[in-house]
């Protein structure tokens, strides 16, 4: 097959940043995606309905004209998030979810949740308002090895939340382990997961063999090829609607990545759907791409499928070495390497 058409995809986990950074990258997602769930971990996090509305306005202003792109806003949960704020989010059509960052787990998560029981009143309200909970599933306990943090979170924190809020929709974001795949499969249909292109196309060898490669550093950190990456690949191409597209594209400028204390985050918005096409084609399952990219996400969120279509052509192209990014440079995933599928504009 050399050409495929699919319903326009959506990105169910995207970092767009703000200010000049936002302006330099938002067009790339808008070209590929109909909608995106916008992560709220700005340097000043999006904790209130008012902030979410202001951030959405900023995104809309930064978009190319007539892009048709729809940013779906997310509240950042803190120990102090009130049920009242959640009720107000429930009455705000632009807000689609709320996000749990364990405090200190990743970029701009210092105001996150110190103990999940602190947000139980907010979770109660979310269950009632039918607002999905999005989860960065890692513990921060320094005693727990960084490669085990997702598995320990599932066992010690997530499972309890799932049992205590049986009606709450939960997305375990950017899953990285076989443990996460197995857990999501064991749960009922209200528990789903997003999978990134980088966790499908890379493993920790890419980051650590032959020298430390900071552009492969993200959180949750890349895991083993076997069994973790293999389990993610199997889940993504399985056609099981519990698993859908979420890039976690997270831009940081080159200086902040190539540093003695480099930031976590891999930028993939420049070629998101092409990267996933590479994965599905590589597994001999290109015909399953549309479900993963364009159908299962909206179905989980209870939203209509996009009406537009996109076309991908098997026509190799080289990913640029960098993009301009707010006066600095941004190294994209697959920089300088070849991708076999190209999105026709």
Binder among 150, 248, 278, 290 for Zn ion (CB under 5 A): 248
264 is in the binding site of which of Zn ion, ligand DOR, none (Cβ under 5 to 8 A by kind)? ligand DOR
Q: Cβ 64 to ligand DOR, closest distance in Å?
A: 23
Segment near Zn ion (CB under 5 A); pick from 23-31, 80-88, 248-256, 278-286: 248-256
Q: Which stretch binds Zn ion (CB under 5 A): 76-84, 111-119, 163-171, 243-251?
A: 243-251
Active site residue 248: yes
Question: Residue 150: which of ligand DOR, Zn ion, none does it interact with, CB under 5 to 8 A by kind?
Answer: none
What are residue 29's phi and psi, to 5 degrees? -70, -40
- Residue-by-residue DSSP string for 260-327: TTPPP-B--GGGHHHHHHHHHHHTT-GGGHHIIIIIHHHHHHT-PPPS-EEEEEEEEEEPPS-EEETT
Active-site option among 248, 281, 299, 321? 248
115-134: contacts with ligand DOR (CB under 6 A): none
Count of residues that interact with Zn ion, criterion CB under 5 A: 1
The CB-based long-range contact list for 286-292 (8 Å cut-off, 24+ gap) reads 286/1, 286/4, 288/237, 288/238, 288/239, 289/4, 289/6, 290/6, 290/7, 291/239, 291/241, 292/236, 292/237, 292/243, 292/244, 292/245
Among 264, 303, 335, 339, binds ligand DOR (CB under 6 A): 264
Helices (H), 49-147: 49-62, 83-90, 120-129
Q: Are 96 and 74 in contact (CB under 8 A)?
A: yes
CB-nearer residue toward ligand DOR: 33 or 39: 39
Nearer to Zn ion, 6 or 136 (CB): 136
CB 301 → ligand DOR: shortest distance, Å?
20
Tell me if 228 sits within 8 A of 177, measured CB to CB: yes
* Residue showing the smallest CB distance to Zn ion in the complex: 248
- Report the interface residues with ligand DOR, using CB under 6 A: 15, 41, 106-107, 136, 218-219, 250, 264-265
Catalytic site residues?
Answer: 248
């Amino acid at each position: 097959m050399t050409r495929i058409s699919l319903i326009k995809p959506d990105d169910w986990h995207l970092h767009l940043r703000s200010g000049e950074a936002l302006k330099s990258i938002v067009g790339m997602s808008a070209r590929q995606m109909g909608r995106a769930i916008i992560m709220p971990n700005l340097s000043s996090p999006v904790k209130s309905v008012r902030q979410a509305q202001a951030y959405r306005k900023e995104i809309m202003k930064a978009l190319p004209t007539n892009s048709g792109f729809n940013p779906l806003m997310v509240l950042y949960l803190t120990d102090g998030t009130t049920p009242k704020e959640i009720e107000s989010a429930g009455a705000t059509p632009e807000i689609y979810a709320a996000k749990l960052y364990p405090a200190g787990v990743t970029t701009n998560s210092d105001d996150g949740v110190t103990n999940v029981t602190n947000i139980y009143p907010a979770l109660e309200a979310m269950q009632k308002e039918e607002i999905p909970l999005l989860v960065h599933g890692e513990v921060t306990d320094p005693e727990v090895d960084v490669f085990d943090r997702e598995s320990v979170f599932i066992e010690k924190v997530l499972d309890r939340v799932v049992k205590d809020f049986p009606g709450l929709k939960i997305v375990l974001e950017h899953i990285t382990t076989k443990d996460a795949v197995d857990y999501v499969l064991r749960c009922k249909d209200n528990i789903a997961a997003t999978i990134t292109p980088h966790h499908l196309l890379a493993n920790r060898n890419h980051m650590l063999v032959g020298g430390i490669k900071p552009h492969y550093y993200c959180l949750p950190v890349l895991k083993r090829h076997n069994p973790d990456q293999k389990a993610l690949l199997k889940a993504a191409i399985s056609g099981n609607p519990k698993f859908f597209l979420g890039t976690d594209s997270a831009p940081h400028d080159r200086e902040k990545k190539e540093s003695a204390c480099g930031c976590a985050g891999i930028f993939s918005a420049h070629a998101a759907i092409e990267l996933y096409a590479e994965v599905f084609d590589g597994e001999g399952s290109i015909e399953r791409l549309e479900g993963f990219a364009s159908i299962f996400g909206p179905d989980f969120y209870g939203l209509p499928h996009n009406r537009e279509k996109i076309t991908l052509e098997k026509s190799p192209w080289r990913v640029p070495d960098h993009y301009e990014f707010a006066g600095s440079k941004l190294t994209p995933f697959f920089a300088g390497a070849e991708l076999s599928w190209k999105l026709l504009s």
